[in-house]
C-alpha cells in the first residue's frame, strides 16, 4: 500500500535514523519548491494567451447565446 512497505527489511539492516528521515523530508520539500517555481515560471510565459483565449471563448459563447435568443423570441 505504501512505498516503504514494498521493500523487505532484513534483520541485519539498520533502521532509518531521524537524521536520514529529516534529510529526506528536506529534499522532498526542496523538490516541491523547485517544481512549484517551475510551474509558476511556465505559467507566466503564456498567461496572457490563456486570458485572450478565455475572452474569445466567452465572446463567441455570448454571440451564439444572443443570436439564439433573438431567433427564439415571438414576434
Record the cell numbers describing residue 40, joined without a space: 509558476
User: Could you tell me the end-to-end alpha-carbon distance of the chain, in angstroms, rounded to an integer?
Assistant: 66
Task: Measure the CA–CA gap between 29 and 27, rounded to whole angstroms.
Answer: 5
State the residue for C-alpha cell 516541491. Answer: 32
pLDDT, tens digit, for every residue of 20-51? 999 999 999 999 999 999 999 998 998 899 99
How high is the pLDDT of residue 61?
98
Largest Cα–Cα distance in the chain? 89
Task: Measure the CA–CA gap between 16 and 65, rounded to whole angstroms.
Answer: 63
Record the cell numbers describing residue 73, joined without a space: 423570441
Amino acid at each position: 500500500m505504501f512505498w516503504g512497505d514494498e521493500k523487505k527489511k532484513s534483520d541485519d539492516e539498520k533502521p532509518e535514523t531521524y537524521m536520514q528521515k529529516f534529510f529526506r523530508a528536506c529534499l522532498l520539500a526542496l523538490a516541491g519548491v523547485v517544481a512549484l517555481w517551475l510551474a509558476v515560471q511556465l505559467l507566466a510565459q503564456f498567461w496572457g494567451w490563456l486570458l485572450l483565449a478565455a475572452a474569445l471563448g466567452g465572446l463567441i459563447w455570448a454571440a451564439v447565446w444572443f443570436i439564439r435568443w433573438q431567433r427564439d423570441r415571438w414576434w
